């Protein structure tokens, strides 16, 4: 049973990673003058969109998301609306945090917000897909005691989310260097860092779970 | 400057852009102008107190040649060249806020001097423009009139010199130059383009008139010294690395030009021979030899009376060769002159690294319960290795000092001192080895005796996320000092770390208050057992938020949750108050906006608000008398700022005459001293009284000392920086009440957080790792004239206000908490010492390794000065910590 779950997760992660790769390659054909540095925002949104679409497709349609108790249309609709609200709130939250970290308040607000959208896509959206708009479940997963996760998906969520955020955090390091490289422009290094961290998380999560499968006890399973 | 412009563009003159070298501070630059050498960085420290210049220089040469020199202006000159001037009137340059008196002082002599003919050289040093830059920056409205005034003066001198011109005497030369430029913020000291670019205009009727567009070429500032020396027919100063400006002698006959170039080349080549053992392999030296030979051939042809085309061509070729040789030699020399005294550097570095190793080895003991470290220095002194090492070191010293050319600082020390230093190094090394063996054997026996079980448990010793952050942050920050950009932008590192710290603290707080219900229940039971929640203890020295502010538990939870967020917002606002660093320093910031004359009203309102907040936050810890003193002191601060002209009283609409505000500042000093005195008195009393009340009295005394320091900082900081102080106090109060006390961090964690906050506030108040941002006007608050000791102390105190206040707060906080273990204060002191010495020691090693780096003088050296000062201040803080802790222990053992 373990191997089946891990294998399923690995393939899901592979699909997401492939989607990021495609999101980088396909616009080269479709958009004129596309480059990751030059038209950074286009790249950023294409990655965000593809990750969002693939996540929703994989987790929602394939039924990994938590079983809904009520199956009425009304309930589903309210869940959808709540998810959207949560997503927007998380974008605003990330935006605020990035501004507190010293991003210019007005000057490059669009760039900052795009970074916030990317970060939300890499973290919050996956939470919404896997856990649903359920704050209690989020706190359970992300509090320290939550390392006693309930399923492999919870563990994967923890790892990928923290990796993306740490990646973005490290991505801010080269900004003050005086190398005058194109990727030092705000927010390119941070979004590249976040994406890199996310990819690392996708790769690391199955390995980590496999490595620690003796210690991991998914109680309620 | 219309007249000067006209002269430069059309008149008989030569204009250049002279590049100054860092540090662009007055004294080293005057040295560069007169000696032609490149002074070292230590001269920045000496800038405040310049001893006489002993090096060979232009002024001395002129005096020896019987020239009569008259000087008016910056009295740095008078101190550098005592008894060199036949007449002088120095103006002290340290009243930065004055920009009319300093210049009038110079100009008032001008008319009478120009009429007389009893001088050969007249030197004028005008300070007003520099002062305006310091006060209000390069875009100030004051700049225009000042430049016009300077233009008038140049015109006056030029007219008078032209009138003096006679046929038989050689023509006069008017040199217009500057010691340094002005950065975008109006200060100087760094090496940015506007700071190092200075004008150099030579005006004389001997030069041809020119017409049309004029593009100044770029030369070195040191080139002026040899040019002037040759123009005045004086010997070139011995250590000059400058080159003759060829454009200046263009009009002279070829023979004379070659002669002058040869003189310059000869001087440079002999300097090269003195300073470089491999001078013969230098390109420039060989080029010079070749040119000299060609010159000789040319002379032979010339004396033979050859006047053909060949002679002219040959001459021009020799000229070109000379110029190339000069350039190459000058370049080699200016690289060369940064010679390093490796022996002294290694001895010093060895000592520093030993102390660092001592601190690190002492960690298990210092952070243990007793917090007492035993350094086996005495037994080490008796051991055999010590004798051998000591002998070895001493003999090496003798060998080094007798063999090498005696140009070494350590060798110039008196021998007993040098030997005792070396013996100390050896003894420390031996005791270090003993301690290392001790620690190793302890850990080995520990792991052997308790077999795999204990190994397992020691591996299980986990760090929380906060610990990991604190450790990696400290290590990462230290490592980041290896990159020059990270030194220039060090504030970014600290802001970044501080933000992350606040978020980590926020996460901890969230975890505490939003645990799952089951865990929360346990927590409640546990916490009710702990004494920290028992209220109503009358002697309780610590401040419980519930009793202090009268908040319920629910509200307390929300306040605790908002505290880190509020801190984050505060930091973000402070960050936009002062732009520092290099890359983004030119961006507009709130501080500039507030200091603009039009926004005085906002600045006044902000200052009033900050002072009120400071009063409210500080007053809680004080006795009634100190509270009143504090209130009066803060009022005094406002009236001082109003007197100086930076803020307005509501009833005062027209700007009245600006005074120095000495009276008001002294009024505040009285209260500062009063509060400090009460605090110290309480501290001393606490030793006399019994242990019960002693602790309370002691903590009150400490808090009063702290209030006194806050008052002093409030007086010294510029008004637009008062919000920094208010935010600092606000963050401290909130953090203590809702976070540090509630979450029970240990002393080490709290110390690291205090240190980080202190560093961040150092940069929040507008400091950077550049000399230019030190606000020297602070040294004159409440003083009529420049007095060295208080000025230096006040400047250092104000520059390091952030770190000092946070260290002081750490001491107050750690000693006023009763729940803490007895060793908390010494743990804090130890952590502070380690936190300061690790980056400082590694930075010294790093700078030594990077001593041939391109930015060694412009980036690494100023930072080294900052680090050294910071270590001094931290050492003073640690001493006070230890003294207080010592008293504390004595009282406890008495009781």
Where are chain A's structural domains?
A: 2-220
pLDDT, one tens digit per residue, over B242-266 is 888 888 888 788 888 888 888 888 8
Work out the mean pLDDT of chain B and round it to a whole number.
80
Contact B486 A139 (CB under 8 A): no
pLDDT at B658 over 70: no
Q: Is the peptide bond before B23 cis (omega within 30 degrees of 0)?
A: yes
What six digits make up the tokens of A68?
Answer: 């809904």
- Integer angstrom CA distances of residue B250 from B257, B302, B404: 8, 19, 44
Residue in A with minimal Cα distance to B482: A177
Å between A97 CA and nearest CA of chain B:
9
Place of tokens 């900081």: B717
Residue in A with minimal Cα distance to B501: A101
pLDDT value for B709: 92
| Poorest-pLDDT segment among B151-155, B579-583, B696-700, B818-822 | B818-822
Return the exposure string of A97-131: e unless at least 16 CB atoms fall within 10 Å of the residue's CB, then b. Answer: bbbbbbbeeeeeeebbbbbbbbbbbbbbbbbbbbb
pLDDT value for A80: 86
Q: Say which of A99, A140, A176 has its CB closest to residue B516.
A: A140
pLDDT value for A92: 94
| Poorest-pLDDT segment among B194-198, B511-515, B605-609 | B511-515
DSSP state of A220: T
pLDDT at B588 over 70: yes
pLDDT value for B561: 87
| Poorest-pLDDT segment among A31-40, B215-224, B516-525 | B516-525
pLDDT, one tens digit per residue, over B684-705 is 887 776 555 667 788 888 888 9
Contact A102 B575 (CB under 8 A): yes
Contact B568 A143 (CB under 8 A): no
In degrees to the nearest 10, what's the CA dihedral of B469, B475, B476, B481? 150
Q: Say which of B488, B493, B499 has its CB closest to residue A101.
A: B499
pLDDT, one tens digit per residue, over A42-73 is 889 999 999 999 988 887 776 655 555 666 78
| Poorest-pLDDT segment among B318-327, B376-385, B537-546 | B537-546
Place of tokens 């090394």: B429
pLDDT at A167 over 90: yes
Residue in A with minimal Cα distance to B489: A176
More confident site: B672 or A155: B672
B583 touches chain A (CB under 8 A): yes
Alpha helices in B377-459 (DSSP H): 377-382, 384-403, 409-412, 415-449, 451-459
pLDDT value for B535: 36
To the nearest whole percent, how much of chain B has pLDDT over 70? 85
Q: Please, how many CA atoms are within 13 Å of residue B284, restricted to the half-sphere of its CB?
A: 28
pLDDT at B114 over 90: no
Contact A102 B514 (CB under 8 A): no
From chain A, which residues contact B within 8 Å (Cβ)?
97, 99-102, 105, 139-140, 143-145, 169, 172, 175-179
pLDDT at B544 over 70: no
Å between B356 CA and nearest CA of chain A:
28
Sign of the CA dihedral B547, B550, B554, B559? Answer: negative
Chain B environment of A145 (Cβ under 8 Å): 515-516, 519
pLDDT value for B756: 94
pLDDT value for B532: 37
Phi, psi dihedral angles at B72 (to 5 degrees): -135, 135
Neighbouring C-beta atoms of residue B447, cutoff 10 Å = 13
Place of tokens 């070292």: B40
SS3 assignment, position B642: helix
List the Cα angle B465/B568/A196 in 5-degree steps. Answer: 55
Closest alpha carbon to B241 in B290, B284, B291: B284
pLDDT, one tens digit per residue, over B460-494 is 456 678 888 999 999 999 999 888 888 888 999 99
Å between A77 CA and nearest CA of chain B:
29
Average pLDDT of span B665-677: 91
Contact A176 B485 (CB under 8 A): yes
What six digits make up the tokens of B640?
Answer: 């001082």
Contact A101 B496 (CB under 8 A): yes
| Poorest-pLDDT segment among A94-108, B276-290, B351-365 | B276-290
Contact A145 B488 (CB under 8 A): no
Which of B467, B489, B572 should be substituted to probe chain A, the one whose Cβ sees the most A Cβ atoms within 10 Å? B572
pLDDT value for B729: 93
Contact A178 B568 (CB under 8 A): no
How far, in Å, CA of B781 to CA of B17, rounded? 37
pLDDT value for B526: 38
Contact B568 A100 (CB under 8 A): yes
pLDDT, one tens digit per residue, over A110-123 is 999 999 999 999 99
Cβ atoms of B792 and B774 closer than 8 Å: no
DSSP state of B647: S
pLDDT at B536 over 50: no
Average pLDDT of span B410-436: 84
Contact A145 B519 (CB under 8 A): yes
pLDDT value for B875: 93
pTM, two decimal places: 0.78
B579 touches chain A (CB under 8 A): no
**Residues within 8 A of A (CB atoms), B 269-308 only:** none
pLDDT, one tens digit per residue, over A183-201 is 888 888 999 999 999 999 9
More confident site: B889 or A164: A164
pLDDT, one tens digit per residue, over B617-636 is 988 888 888 899 999 999 99
Chain B environment of A147 (Cβ under 8 Å): none
Interface size A-B, in CB pairs within 8 Å, comes to: 48
Contact B488 A177 (CB under 8 A): no
Chain A environment of B503 (Cβ under 8 Å): 97
Å between B569 CA and nearest CA of chain A:
7
Phi, psi dihedral angles at B71 (to 5 degrees): -135, 135
Contact B492 A100 (CB under 8 A): no
Which is it for strands B87-91 and B174-177: parallel, antiparallel or unpaired?
A: unpaired
How far, in Å, CA of B639 to CA of B618, rounded? 20
Which band of pLDDT confidence, cut at 50, 70 and 90, is reported for residue B158? Answer: confident
More confident site: B675 or B695: B675
The gap from C-alpha B486 to its chain's centroid, in whole angstroms, comes to: 17
Which band of pLDDT confidence, cut at 50, 70 and 90, is reported for residue B890? Answer: low
Å between A177 CA and nearest CA of chain B:
5
pLDDT at B888 over 80: no
pLDDT value for A149: 57
Contact B515 A140 (CB under 8 A): no
List the Cα angle B750/B755/B756 in 5-degree steps. Answer: 100
Which is it for strands B197-203 and B174-177: parallel, antiparallel or unpaired?
A: antiparallel
Which of A93, A94, A101, A161 should be substituted to probe chain B, the one whose Cβ sees the most B Cβ atoms within 10 Å? A101
To the nearest whole percent, how much of chain B has pLDDT over 90? 15
């Amino acid at each position: 049973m373990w191997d089946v779950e891990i294998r399923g997760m690995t393939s899901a992660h592979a699909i997401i990673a492939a989607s990021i790769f495609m999101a980088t390659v396909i616009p080269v054909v479709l958009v004129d003058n596309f480059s990751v540095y030059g038209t950074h925002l286009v790249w950023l949104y294409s990655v965000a969109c593809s990750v969002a679409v693939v996540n929703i497709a994989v987790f929602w349609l394939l039924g990994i998301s938590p079983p809904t108790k009520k199956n009425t249309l009304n309930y589903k609709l309210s869940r959808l609306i709540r998810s959207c609200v949560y997503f927007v709130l998380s974008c605003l939250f990330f935006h605020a945090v990035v501004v507190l970290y010293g991003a210019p308040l007005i000057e490059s607000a669009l760039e900052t917000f795009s970074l916030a959208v990317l970060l939300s896509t890499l973290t919050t959206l996956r939470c919404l897909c896997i856990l649903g708009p359920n704050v209690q479940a989020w706190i359970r997963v992300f509090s320290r005691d939550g390392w006693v996760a309930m399923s492999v998906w919870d563990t994967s969520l923890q790892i990928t989310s923290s990796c993306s955020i740490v990646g973005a955090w490290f991505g801010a390091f080269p900004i003050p260097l005086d190398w005058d490289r194109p990727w030092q422009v705000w927010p390119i290094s941070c979004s590249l860092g976040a994406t890199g961290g996310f990819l690392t998380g996708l790769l690391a999560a199955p390995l980590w779970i496999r490595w620690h499968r003796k210690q991991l006890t998914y109680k309620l399973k | 400057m219309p007249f000067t412009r006209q002269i430069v563009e059309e008149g008989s003159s030569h204009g250049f852009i002279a590049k100054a070298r860092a540090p662009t501070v007055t004294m080293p630059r005057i040295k560069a102008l007169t000696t032609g050498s490149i002074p070292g960085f230590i001269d920045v420290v000496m800038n405040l107190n310049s001893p006489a210049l002993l090096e060979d220089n232009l002024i001395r040469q002129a005096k020896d040649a019987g020239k009569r020199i008259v000087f008016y202006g910056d009295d740095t000159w008078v101190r550098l060249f005592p008894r060199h001037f036949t007449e002088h009137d120095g103006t002290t340059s340290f009243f930065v806020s004055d920009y009319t008196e300093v210049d009038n002082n110079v100009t008032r002599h001008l008319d009478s001097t120009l009429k007389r003919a009893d001088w050969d050289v007249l030197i004028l040093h005008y300070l007003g423009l520099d002062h305006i830059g310091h006060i209000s920056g390069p875009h100030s409205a004051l700049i225009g009139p000042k430049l016009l005034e300077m233009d008038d003066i140049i015109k006056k001198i030029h007219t008078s010199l032209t009138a003096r011109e006679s046929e038989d005497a050689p023509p006069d030369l008017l040199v217009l130059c500057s010691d340094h430029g002005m950065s975008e913020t109006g200060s100087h000291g760094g090496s940015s383009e506007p700071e190092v670019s200075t004008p150099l205009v030579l005006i004389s009727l001997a030069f041809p008139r020119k017409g049309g567009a004029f593009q100044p070429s770029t030369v070195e500032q040191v080139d002026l010294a040899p040019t002037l020396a040759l123009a005045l027919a004086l010997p070139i100063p011995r250590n000059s690395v400058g080159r003759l400006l060829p454009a200046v002698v263009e009009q002279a006959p070829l023979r004379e030009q070659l002669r002058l170039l040869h003189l310059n080349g000869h001087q440079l080549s002999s300097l090269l021979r003195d300073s470089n053992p491999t001078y013969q392999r230098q390109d420039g030296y060989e080029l010079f030899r070749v040119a000299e030979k060609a010159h000789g051939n040319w002379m032979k042809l010339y004396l033979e009376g050859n006047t053909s085309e060949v002679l002219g061509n040959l001459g021009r070729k020799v000229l070109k060769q000379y110029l190339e040789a000069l350039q190459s030699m000058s370049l080699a020399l200016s690289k060369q002159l940064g010679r390093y005294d490796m022996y002294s550097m290694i001895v010093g570095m060895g000592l520093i690294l030993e102390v660092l190793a001592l601190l690190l080895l002492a960690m298990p003991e210092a952070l243990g319960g007793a917090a007492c470290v035993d350094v086996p220095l005495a037994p080490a002194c008796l051991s055999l290795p010590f004798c051998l090492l000591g002998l070895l070191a001493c003999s090496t010293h003798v060998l080094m000092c007798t063999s090498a050319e005696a140009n070494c600082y350590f060798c110039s020390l008196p021998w007993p001192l040098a030997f005792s230093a070396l013996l100390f190094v050896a003894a420390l090394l031996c005791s270090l080895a003993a301690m290392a063996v001790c620690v190793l054997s302890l850990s080995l026996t520990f792991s052997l005796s308790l077999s795999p079980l204990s190994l397992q448990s020691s591996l299980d010793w986990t760090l929380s996320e906060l610990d990991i952050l604190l450790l990696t942050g400290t290590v990462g920050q230290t490592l980041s000092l290896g990159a020059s950009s990270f030194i220039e932008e060090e504030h970014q590192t600290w802001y970044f770390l501080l933000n992350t710290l606040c978020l980590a603290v926020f996460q901890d707080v969230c975890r505490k208050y939003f645990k799952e219900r089951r865990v929360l229940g346990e927590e409640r039971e546990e916490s009710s057992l702990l004494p920290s929640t028992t209220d109503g203890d009358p002697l309780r020295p610590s401040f419980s938020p519930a009793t202090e502010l009268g908040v319920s538990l629910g509200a307390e939870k929300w306040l605790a949750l908002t505290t880190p967020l509020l801190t984050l917002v505060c930091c973000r606002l402070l960050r936009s108050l002062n732009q520092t660093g290099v890359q983004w320093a030119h961006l507009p910031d709130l501080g500039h906006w507030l200091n603009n004359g039009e926004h005085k009203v906002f600045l006044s309102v902000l200052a009033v608000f900050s002072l009120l907040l400071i009063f409210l936050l500080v007053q809680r810890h004080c006795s009634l008398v100190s509270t009143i003193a504090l209130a009066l002191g803060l009022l005094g601060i406002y009236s001082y700022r109003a007197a100086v002209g930076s803020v307005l009283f509501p009833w005062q609409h027209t700007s009245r005459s600006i005074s120095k505000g000495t009276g008001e500042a002294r009024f505040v000093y009285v209260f500062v001293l009063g509060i400090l005195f009460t605090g110290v008195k309480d501290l001393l009393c606490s030793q006399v009284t019994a242990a019960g009340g002693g602790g309370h009295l002691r903590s009150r005394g400490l808090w009063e000392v702290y209030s006194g320091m806050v008052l002093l900082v409030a007086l010294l900081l510029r008004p637009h920086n008062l919000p920094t102080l208010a935010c600092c106090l606000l963050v401290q109060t909130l953090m203590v009440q809702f976070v540090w006390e509630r979450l029970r961090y240990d002393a080490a964690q709290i110390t690291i957080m205090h240190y980080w906050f202190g560093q961040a506030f150092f940069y929040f108040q507008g400091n950077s790792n550049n000399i230019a941002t030190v606000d020297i006007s602070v040294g004159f608050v409440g003083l009529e004239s420049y007095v060295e000791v208080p000025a230096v102390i006040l400047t250092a105190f104000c520059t390091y206000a952030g770190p000092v206040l946070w260290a002081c707060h750490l001491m107050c906080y750690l000693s006023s908490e009763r729940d803490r273990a007895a060793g908390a204060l010494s743990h804090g002191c130890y952590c502070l010492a380690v936190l300061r010495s690790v980056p400082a020691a590694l930075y010294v090693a790093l700078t030594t390794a990077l001593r041939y780096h391109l930015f060694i003088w412009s980036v690494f050296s100023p930072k080294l000065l900052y680090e050294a000062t910071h270590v001094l201040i931290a050492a003073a803080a640690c001493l006070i910590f230890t003294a207080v802790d010592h008293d504390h222990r004595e009282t406890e053992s008495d009781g």
